[in-house]
Chain A
């Protein structure tokens, strides 16, 4: 077989943040027609490598070649002009403007006589870009701010694939499916396969093993900033990859229920979101399933008191309850992991410690007023250890953590004390395979300790593996509750569409 020139070749690439290495002498080759998985634990350095390629982070050292030619990339514009396209892990959108404008952010707008924006043409372009991913439910004239998280991600993905004047040959996708459901992911994979046959190269970051085995040819594993192996996908196995990533033996079985849950009903809801009824008992894990936007997040927010006006009634241990503010929820011993870690979960400009303690400040202070930093620090350190947080210290700003580690901070703070009710909205999004099972063990432990748990997830395996019963939401058409035991993913999906 003749040796091909790689489309993209990265050698000797390093980056240090304030003395802590994030990337150490990394190297990677991307061939034409290859879908190349980049895997590694949270904080391994995947996004750092990608941001260097995109010209948004300046490396300490880097040797990058495109089609064999050495290049240096100093800005996103240069990366774009060299035919690289990116979907970054953290959404970069301009919420104030329309979908069509967001789709055209990296290109010049079509214009009349080079001056006035040709809106019709812009909207046509946008429609074509969306159609390519089979998206018909998003109007390009809509303001970006009004879209759901999943839809925003779809727009972002569409913008990377939008036809442009400069030909693109290299696509770099950093956890594009983290906020997508199964059907949306499949449409993305179809586009990826098409690009592959056209000879493009795709660098693909994901924590989802199934996808990696489904669409990738090659897999590179990183650990602690170093590239430690590159293999053809056929030569590896799930277990092998996990061992390479974590350097330890990780169970990838869901922690089973070891004793029956309690009988006392903790929370009961009637007629919520136009006709959703449910009960959850002490120690029970009630899953919440449904297609994207079926009301999973609204339901959890309504229970927490985070929505302005809520239809339906709620009762807590038999007493009627009308939560008016999330503060009420936390005071009653509810704990909440919201869906969006960066928009709804974290104060990125503050430290790990302050983010973990924020809902618990009253308990962590002298007479509710004076901060007790000692107790706060102990709580933060203890919880960080339980979720295997990778941070330089509890004083590190959450802005500086990797995506998965940010998610772990939001999760950790919900586990403080022993919550009466745990409301989890996509709690493991972006968390690596190894750490994910640590979080599952914590959820199981809370259930054994008697916490009632509501778990909304688009990961059907997660729902089936942990839950006792599952509430399936169908937007505007009521809901059903099913027992999880004996159900397959296929059954559950059918119920969602049902």
Chain B
């Protein structure tokens, strides 16, 4: 055992759980800020959308697809210069937020896109017939009507990001992933690997439970 007592291990795990949550929620926030407008634009510029612009739609769709098909491990490395530029370092929790956000943004864009596409065309048409502007339709119709589905999509993003953050932890990113690699793998402490895995499972369960409940509360259908 590396640790004198379980208490010490407990505090380490607690601190790194906090780091994981910090990275994941910051990355969720940033990727939503980037991905949400992209998703909205993908919907409204699509065929039959309220601001049909097929060329733009096709280009944006391709960009998003390229972003999504990038393997995360490669993305972290590829983004090191960029991360250094804006954070000053490419190591640690705060630096990890950069590749996490960029990896999740195209995912969020697609999640928002598919949620907004579920909104009944007739409802949008009624809003157009009442004289709504594009902005009013986005903010007062599309997003509120799709809210439950958007929340489930964001929950899915959070869960994916927990997985990604653990991966980032193995290459100097901090959080529960780094505990698993540093203490568990390099110093052969299996009990810490098991503990991190259990913690990750619990985190995912709790987040999914919260997401489901918020979505249920929001859904008036």
| Mutual binders A and B | no
Which residues on B are within 8 Å of A, measured CB to CB? none
Which residues on A are within 8 Å of B, measured CB to CB? none
